[in-house]
Each structure stands twice: as structure tokens, then as C-alpha cells.
Amino acid sequence: MSKEKVILAYSGGLDTTAIIPWLKENFDYDVVCCCIDCGQGEELDGLEERAKLSGASKLYIENIIDEFCDDYVMPCVKAGAVYENKYLLGTSMARPVIAKRLVEIARKEGATAICHGATGKGNDQIRFELGIKALAPDLKIIAPWRMTDVWTMQSREEEIEYCKQHGIDLPFDAKHSYSRDRNLWHISHEGLELEDPANEPNYDDLLVLGVTPEKAPDEGEYVTMTFEAGVPKTLNGKEMKVSEIITELNALGGKHGVGIVDIVENRVVGMKSRGVYETPGGTILMAAHEQLEELVLDRATYEVKKDLGNKFAQIVYEGKWFTPLREAIQAFIDVTQQYVTGEVKFKLYKGNIIKAGETSPYSLYSESLASFTTGELYDHHDAEGFINLFGLPLKVRAMKMQELEK
């Protein structure tokens, strides 16, 4: 009788490498590794040999960069989804699409369980598991870091020693470093001096995607983008798919010190955590989209969209992607994007994104209305009656208060 299969969400790092022999030893599973490529770059080098050396029977490396950008990043961009006013959801957006692909591989392999290496204190355990539960409620979920009676390793040194005991000699050292998560949209940094909010980040050691504004060029750089129905189509006159535009914007933003955020955020599990996020291309894309949107959305729609954008960010942050609520809000957002079409121009300079003009065939801006001269659509005399009615509740209350004071 063949062994049961488990799909391991595999990054190739020390944690998931140690999990392979641990799963075989404690559960007698046939371990199938699955590395989901959301744009981690060189982090994927050498994974096949490492997984095989560690005892995996098979390794999938699944490139889902375009699916990630088109179906998960862009809905958040369109929604203007920013968690707690700063975090552009880089890790949060990637987890549901990773969970989706893990389930697809589990079905293909006939696996009975999915294993992840997320810790018991973080948000990722929630995001992975809510995604898996929504798509495959029958699959068992194994989270080693929560299984403290079986998973007894508590340090990198212990994990390295465990691997050596199982004949796995890997190029990891016990030197502690930042805890990072990277994809095409961003890279996050936690740990070391960042664990104390009183400490300034050591940006010289920390930054991966760019430089600080102080080290950015003294000369600004103009960028032009076009959008169709809320989706970026061209960058500096060149037509590209979304993933290519984000890649180019990452290079531009990193060069000019754009998109570095130091935040103390509220995790879903109830604690505060401090991290530094680099999102150079994403910060530019969000700003460019908003720059065009303010030209074409009416006031009432824009107001409601802002509220729903905050709600959308919370939903994504909490791992509730595969829910009717996310679908419903996204449907509203998609309607608002029908006319978000046009061109924006801005200048990148030392961490800043400086507007330099915007045009749209659907612009609601009327120069004749906005100017100080009287246009044919606006009669200044109408304002008096409007103010009288608009201010009527205030006036009635004030009159009542005067009456009571007498």
C-alpha cells in the first residue's frame, strides 16, 4: 500500500527544508514539495537539488507571476486597498493565490494533507489555512510550528543539527538575519534591530530593492503611464503586461528611494509587530492609479469607494480572499473602474512621487466651472439658496440653543 502524500509549501529555506525529514519521520508521509513563484527571483536557485537531498519525492516549481499580478494585485490596486494607511498588502495578496495552487497540486497528486511552515504567531498561518479551508475543506492541514509536542526545534541551530542528523548537509549557517518575504510586489523585513520600535532601521544592511532617498540621484526622472479601465497598459510609451510594468517600476522606484515604509501594524492574532516594507513599484502604481481616478470619479462614488477600499484591505489582510464579501466589494470596485482610462505623468525625486499632469477622455473636471470667471453652467446666485438649505439644520439648532439660553 502506497504512503499518503502531503503537499509542502516549500521555499527552500531552513524551516521548510527541516520540515521534509520531520514529516517523513513523524507521519510517514510521501512529501511532495511545491514552490510557488510569485516573483522571488534568485531565491529559487538550486531548489530542486535541495528538495531532493532533503528527502522529497517530487518538487513542483509553479510560476504564477502573471496570475498573481492580474487577479490578486490589480483588484487591490483598483480598490486602493492599503492596510492601516501604510501597508500595501504585499504578503497578504500572495497568500491566497499560493493556497489556491497548493490545493490544485494536492488534487493532482491525490494528497490528503497540505503542510506550511508559517509560525504560530503570525498572519500567514491564517491566510494559508483560510484559503485551503475555503477551497478544499476535506484536506488536512499540518502546521509544525504549532505542534510543539512533536516539533521540538526552537532555533536555527537546532534545525541545522536536525538536518545533519538526517544526512542533510546544507549551506545554511546559524547566524541570525532579517526575516524576509519577497515577491514581485514587495519585500518585507522583520527581526534584528526592528524588534524594538525605538531603534532606527539599519537601512544600509536592510534594503534589497532600492536605496534611501538620501542616496537617490539628485536629478528627478519623469514617468508617463496610461491606464484602461483601471489597468496599467503602457509605461513611458511602451506597451507591457502588468507584471512587466511592475518590474520596471520596481527598478525606477528603487533607484529614486520610493516606497520604503517603517510600520508598527496590528496583526490578526492580536499583537503589534514592527516591520519595514519595500514596495517601490507598487507605491508608484498605486499613486498613478489614484492620480487618474481623482479626475474621473464623482464625489459620492469616490467617498464610498474609499470606505470600501479600507474594508477590502482588511479582508485581504485577514486572509478572507475566498469569501462572498470580497467578491461583492470587488464587483462594486470593478464598476467604478469602467472609466478610469487616461494618461498620468509624474516625477520621481528622492522618495517622492510628484504629479506632473493627467488627462482622460472621461475627465469630470470642467475648466469653465473651476475657473473664477462665471461659466454658463454655474450661476453664482444659486449658491445662496444652496447654502441656506445646506446650512438649515445648523441654523435651526443654533436658534433652539439661543431660545433655551434665554
Active-site residue list: 15, 95, 124, 179
Neighbours of 57 (CB within 10 A): 16
| Residue 270 annotated as part of some ligand binding site | no
Residue tagged 516594507 (cell numbers): 277
Q: Say if CB 223 and CB 347 are below 8 A apart.
A: yes
User: What cell was used for 329?
Assistant: 466589494
**Does 54 count as an annotated binding residue?**
no
The response to whether 307 counts as a known ligand-binding position is no
CA atoms within 13 Å, Cβ hemisphere of 86:
13
368 annotated binding-site participant: no
Known binder of ligand: residue 10? yes
92 is in an annotated binding site: yes
Taking phi over 0 as left and psi of -120 to 50 as alpha, with beta for the rest, 46 belongs to left
366 is in an annotated binding site: no
SS3 59: strand
- Compute the C-alpha angle 204/207/212, nearest 5°: 70
Cα 6 to Cα 142: distance, rounded to the nearest angstrom: 9
- Is 184 annotated as a binding-site member? no
Closest to 123 (Cα-Cα) out of 302, 316, 318, 263: 318
Which of 330, 313, 301, 283 has its CA nearest to residue 293? 301
The SS3 of residue 60 is: strand
Residue 15 assigned ligand-binding role: yes
Q: How many angstroms separate the CA atoms of 391 and 385, rounded?
A: 10
Q: Is 12 marked as a binding-site residue?
A: yes
Residue 177 assigned ligand-binding role: no
* 398 annotated to bind ligand: no
Give the residue ranges of the annotated binding site for L-aspartate: 119, 123-124
Give the residue ranges of the annotated binding site: 9-17, 87, 92, 117, 119, 123-124, 127, 179, 188, 265, 277
Give the residue ranges of the annotated binding site for ATP: 9-17, 117
